[in-house]
Amino acid sequence: MTDDVKIICGERTFLSDQKTLSLLPYFAATFRSEMQENLTNEINLSHLDGDCIKIILESLQTGKVSTHRKNNIEMMQSLYTTSHYLQAERVESFALNTLRSLVDKKTAPKILEFATDYNIESLKWFVQNYIEQNKCK
């Protein structure tokens, strides 16, 4: 049995190994089960953002989170939801911290809506506090 694992995300395919992937609870549970993914060493994550999968895999290999592109709200929202789904806590924290840094009078409503939709209480509190202090609508 090989440790090479294919992660299929839409048109993109990423290669990794079970040991590295098992650092995340999501993958560790997958490899402990009798699921098809464990038997074929292929994991289909087509419902997730491929750019975010790449960032998460790189963070597992390097121990650092780097987005390699502009940190905009949409990217960080996608990175948060993907990392939350895969239980990649370091990347999830990075996305939340970046979202906090992007809060301003223009972005506050959109980020608040995201925090509310995904029940992210710490981000919701942060944005509400910002809105109160800065008299945003």
Residue-wise pLDDT tens digits, 3-36:
589 999 989 999 999 999 999 999 999 888 777 7
SS3 6: strand
Which residue pairs from 72-77 have beta carbons closer than 8 angstroms and sit at least 24 positions apart in sequence? 72/102, 73/99, 73/102, 73/107, 73/110, 73/111, 73/114, 75/51, 76/102, 77/114
* pTM for the full predicted model: 0.89
Report domain extents, the chain. Answer: 4-102
d(CA 35, CA 31): 8
What pLDDT shows up at residue 92?
97
Which is nearest to 80 in space by CA: 97, 63, 103?
97
Question: In this predicted structure, what is the pLDDT of residue 137?
Answer: 54
Question: What percent of the chain is modeled with pLDDT above 90?
Answer: 74
**pLDDT of 59-96, one tens digit each?**
998 889 887 667 799 999 999 999 999 999 999 999 99
| pLDDT tens column, 104-122 | 999 999 999 999 999 999 9
* Closest alpha carbon to 53 in 16, 96, 104: 16
4-102, CATH topology level: Potassium Channel Kv1.1; Chain A (3.30.710)
